[in-house]
Amino acid sequence: MLPDDLLTVSRGEKEAELVLRNARVVNVFSGETVKINIAVHNGYIAGLGDYHGKIEYDLAGSFVTPGFIDGHIHIESSLLLPHNFARAVVVWGTTTVVTDPHEITNVLGTDGIRLMQSSSELGPVNIEMMVPSCVPATEMETSGARLGADDIEGLFQTGDFRGLAEMMNFPGVVYGDSGVIKKLSRASGTIIDGHSPGLTGRELNTYIAAGIKSDHECTTVTEALEKLGLGMFIMIREGSTAKNMEALLPAVNSKNFSRFMLVTDDAHAEDLLCGHINLLLRKAVASGLDAVTALRMVTLNPASYFRLDGYGAVAPGYRADMVVIDSLTEFNPLMVFKDGRLVAQNGQPAAPWPPVSFPVMTSMDVKLPDKLFLIKAESKQARVIGINPGQLFTDSLIRSPGVADGYAVSDTVDDILKIAVVERHRGTGNIGVGFVHGFGLKRGAIASSVAHDSHNIIVIGTTDTDMEAAVREVIKFGGGLAAASDGRILAGLPLPVGGLMAEGDAREVAQKYAGLKKAAKELGCSLDEPFMAMSFLALPVIPEIKITDKGLVDVKKFGFVPLFV
């Protein structure tokens, strides 16, 4: 509902609350940049032109763009509660995000969704939520909760959700699983996001025909253009772990740019202290993309796709979400306005954020058997998860792990390390064990209760003793991250909110997370983001091979496979 007196201000009969003078407005409709004044009243843009305001800023020709929109992110992956996440990103120009809270929902069910909504209301960013579609993501893992078709329908009836979040169970869609089809039916008429890595041909046609209209898992131009040509919006992902921008930007041209968005998917607190969507814009333009086209991909395009009326442009009747930036190459925010209010200046809050008290909802029910990580050597060769740095895809390798007293063990020389997933929601005692190549640990172990999407405890290590020490520290935290060596804890980060999020702000979380990364590096780890990379090794919906608390999963076959060959 527009303010009653907005039109009075638009006509020039009443003074505006705020006027930004001498602004170079980036017009995402026409592609032009126009030097003009902007009148703002009661959180909305009243008009562009000759206006006067109670408060006026002379921008001296600085660029003004719409507030940035991240069209696909899982806030939980920042390890921050939504209000702390919002405080971290708004200073970089992000004023709206569309989030899928399926991480916390896999742990706490609808209580987790309500927790996210309550926290979101305390922050300075417009947080639009999607209804999680796959809780759990598959039946090949143990989650803390389940969300069926009736649950999804009930959530939509509240009117608090933008659409149905990424449908990860693409085989269920393609082959007509009744439960999956019911979920899609309940979401009919809303926006339905996709998740279909590598899907092509008739299977892709079937997936899209089911009503799914976007994808953020493309890794090649060929894949992106096939999906776009069949009607999908393409979200180009550039997050803390998965980085697809360099590979996909060549797909964007003057005819199809309106079907693309730039998103992060998963962004860590440590990275958010350095920037958010503004960094994606900077990288895209440095790679040769036209600046206004790039801006459309984080403003008007996501606003249009998600039916966010009144967002995504600097124009009369639109929300006064605006970013004043230094240039169309660096995108450094000089001022950020949310609903017409100055909330950030030069990368800092315009005023100190007030303290927030928020209830903690823990989830940790773990049964640890004796000798929990022993693997009897059934043959000389085993299936090993192969890491691809910077990607969520893994390779299915055949390697020979070490053997001691008839048991398969880690081999640090050939970088074949033991990996395990420990069920933490229902006290089942389930433990999936296997091997991974590409972490480079020479000693010790790292563990985490962040393990997409069911978020059981995942651990990688060189010895069973250190693996157990790291796991027990995570349990003691009520969820979190830990690094151990010689039975001693080297670093840790408690995540008491569902085992996924901390109570502190971005700077506090980033400091402890940096200590964990430093510890992992000292243990020999060769990856820049070891904990983030490890967290996706339990996600059995992205090829090629993953591990859950129930065992080793061949994602292409969508079924379990034996560890030994």
Q: Which structural domains are found in the chain, ordered by start?
A: 68-308 (3.20.20.140), 382-560 (no CATH)
> In percent, how much of the chain has pLDDT > 70?
100
**Residue 391, pLDDT score:** 81
Instruction: For residues 108 and 102, give the distance between their C-alpha atoms in angstroms, rounded to a whole number.
Output: 10
Average pLDDT over residues 169-185: 94
Instruction: For residues 491 and 477, give the distance between their C-alpha atoms in angstroms, rounded to a whole number.
Output: 12
Strand partners, 473: none
Tokens, residue 18: 């705020």
Taking phi over 0 as left and psi of -120 to 50 as alpha, with beta for the rest, 539 belongs to beta
**Residue 138, pLDDT score:** 84
Instruction: For residues 163 and 307, give the distance between their C-alpha atoms in angstroms, rounded to a whole number.
Output: 10
What is this structure's pTM? Answer: 0.93
Identify the burial level of 32 via C-beta atoms within 10 angstroms of its C-beta, where 0-12 means exposed, 13-18 middle and 19 or more buried. exposed
**Residue 556, pLDDT score:** 87
> To the nearest 10°, the Cα dihedral for 536, 199, 244, 313?
-110
Instruction: For residues 92 and 170, give the distance between their C-alpha atoms in angstroms, rounded to a whole number.
Output: 35
177-191, 358-372, 483-497: least confidently modelled range: 358-372
Tens-digit pLDDT profile for residues 31-78: 999 999 999 999 999 999 999 999 999 999 999 999 999 999 999 999
Is pLDDT of 15 > 80?
Answer: yes
**Residue 361, pLDDT score:** 80
**Residue 203, pLDDT score:** 97
Instruction: Give the dihedral sign, CA 145/149/154/160.
Output: positive
Is pLDDT of 390 > 90?
Answer: no
Looking at per-residue pLDDT, the higher value among 4 and 308 belongs to 308
Contacts of residue 296, defined as CB under 8 A and 6 or more positions apart, other chains included, come to 28, 257, 258
Instruction: For residues 232 and 59, give the distance between their C-alpha atoms in angstroms, rounded to a whole number.
Output: 39
Contact yes or no for 71/340 (Cβ under 8 A): no
Which position has the token pair 């609350």?
17
